[in-house]
Amino acid sequence: MEVIRSKFQCPACNRSILNRKIDRCLYCGASLPQALLFSPEKIAALDEETRKQEERRKQHPTPQTVEQSGFLSNAIDTIDIISDIGGLFD
């Protein structure tokens, strides 16, 4: 089985960096070099994007049951993860 290698890997354990906003490897806890991380500007841009999405969600609330609302927040978490994975390859 082929291992998919990201160009952003922890120098200590060689595993893909899951979240480039965090300056530590989520697997082994090693500090990551700045070169592998998002710049503060990029993080600010991402946070701004998240904030805009939150605002849109507040402005256009969809009536939903508690159950559906749980499902929705799970889906949003998944989208977050996908966008982080996308960031590995930019």
- Contacts with Zn ion by CB under 5 A lie at 10, 12-13, 25, 27-28, 30
Which of 22, 21, 2, 27 lies closest to 10, judged by CA? 27
CB of 28 vs Zn ion, minimal distance in Å: 3
Rounded least distance, CB 14 to Zn ion, Å: 7
Closest to Zn ion by CB, 13 or 79:
13
The CB-of-3 to Zn ion minimum distance in angstroms stands at 16
Phi, psi of 6 (to 5 degrees): -90, 155
Instruction: Measure the CA–CA gap between 71 and 30, rounded to whole angstroms.
Output: 34
Nearer to Zn ion, 26 or 82 (CB): 26
In DSSP terms, 9 is beta-bridged to: 16
